[in-house]
Amino acid sequence: MSTAAAPARQLDPRSAAEIHRAAEDLLAELGSSETSPGLLDRVAETAAGLGDRVREHCRPVDTADGLFVLSGLTVDDQDIGPTPANWATAGDSGALHDLTLLLLASLMGNPIAWQGQQDGRFVHNIVPSPGHEEEQTGASSSVLLSPHTEDAFHPGRAHLLMLGCMRNHDRIATTAASVRRVALSDGDLELLTRPVLPILPDDAYSEAQGYAGGEPPPVPTLYATDEGLTLRYDPAYTPLEQADDAYRAAYGRLSDELSRVSTAVSLHPGEVLVVDNDLVVHGRVPFTARYDGTDRWLKRASVRVPGRRSRPAAETVEHGYGQRAIEAPASTARAV
């Protein structure tokens, strides 16, 4: 795994102050980061009024690395209070930073939420939680969070994933690897672009795991676009034992290549990692949680980019295991 620096975009002080003031004004007006009526409309309206400098920093991911780190924002370690014990008790902890992330997300596309995850919140709190140490979810700690694309089981998954750092005293790294950096044979590409295996819902979606409305649809792991490869990948929830030897071997070589080109991104408070979810798999190194209010704390937002053509047309008929994403476009929220 490489420790080379991820592509960076540094907000100038004027732009950072503009975003901070906008988030403060929204919080003062609405009194909450998630539950206020009209929240998403007001966020979209406020984001539309931000200056060109801010918009330039929020331009699309534009390198084969498929990610960048946006820096220049600040987080006060005392003001944010202790790291929540779990997402369900977080409430409005760090509400100002929820709104900051939503403003940035609204400039990049349409924020989405999931009805079946974290009570439909548009910004998730990613914290280690007692009893979940060994799961393959963001609440884990003691195990490697395997590289994956976010919500790979669902056709409505995000195009962009945003991880905003609130606290990271222990310099715990997020891992990331771009499919545009791997080297695979034509034979492996031919196998992995076939729809052979399904990707099953992960442990964050308990209702989806019990879905009985249809067979799990097989999906391609790789997809060739005019711009290059994209991928849909979550080995922890892919029943590889159902595939033949040739397919499993090709999948293994893809996994090895992603490991070879993987980089470690250790975020500082205030930094936001933006990942292209069609190009990049992400994970997290293991760590030992203390559960004393000082553990790593990230904010997560998911974004869909209107009109993007980076996925097979066949995805549109998938059942999505009964899960629905709520998308917040420029005017009003709608289910998709």
For residue 58, give Cα distances in angstroms to 11, 42, 180, 276, 304. 10, 19, 21, 13, 14
Cβ atoms within 10 Å, residue 81: 12
Nearest alpha-carbon partner for 91 in 100, 82, 78, 104: 82
pLDDT tens track for 171-185? 999 999 999 999 999
In single-letter form, the type of residue at position 295 comes to D
User: Taking a C-beta distance cutoff of 8 angstroms, is the pair 105, 23 a contact?
Assistant: no
The phi and psi torsions of 275 (rounded to 5 degrees) equal -120, 130
Q: Which residue has the tokens 């879905």?
A: 211
- Confidence grade of residue 31 (pLDDT, cut at 50, 70, 90): confident
- Confidence grade of residue 3 (pLDDT, cut at 50, 70, 90): low
DSSP characters for 20-56?
HHHHHHHHHHHS-SSSSTTHHHHHHHHHHTS-HHHHH
User: Taking a C-beta distance cutoff of 8 angstroms, is the pair 140, 132 a contact?
Assistant: yes
Three-state DSSP class for residue 280: strand
Name residue 280's beta-bridge partners. 178
Three-point CA angle 208, 214, 217, nearest 5°: 85
pLDDT tens track for 149-164? 999 999 999 999 999 9
Q: Is the pLDDT of residue 285 over 50?
A: yes
Cβ atoms within 10 Å, residue 227: 12
Name residue 272's beta-bridge partners. 70, 164
Q: Give start and end residues of each alpha helix (H) in 76-218.
A: 95-108, 186-192, 206-209
pLDDT tens track for 190-241? 999 999 999 999 988 888 999 999 999 999 999 999 999 999 999 999 999 9
In eight-state DSSP terms, residue 243 is S
- Confidence grade of residue 2 (pLDDT, cut at 50, 70, 90): low
Q: In terms of residues, how long is the chain?
A: 336
Would you kindly state where each structural domain of the chain is located, as residue ranges?
Answer: 8-309+322-335
For residue 211, give Cα distances in angstroms to 120, 206, 215, 224, 237. 19, 9, 9, 30, 15
**Residue range 8-309+322-335, CATH number:** 3.60.130.10
- Confidence grade of residue 120 (pLDDT, cut at 50, 70, 90): confident
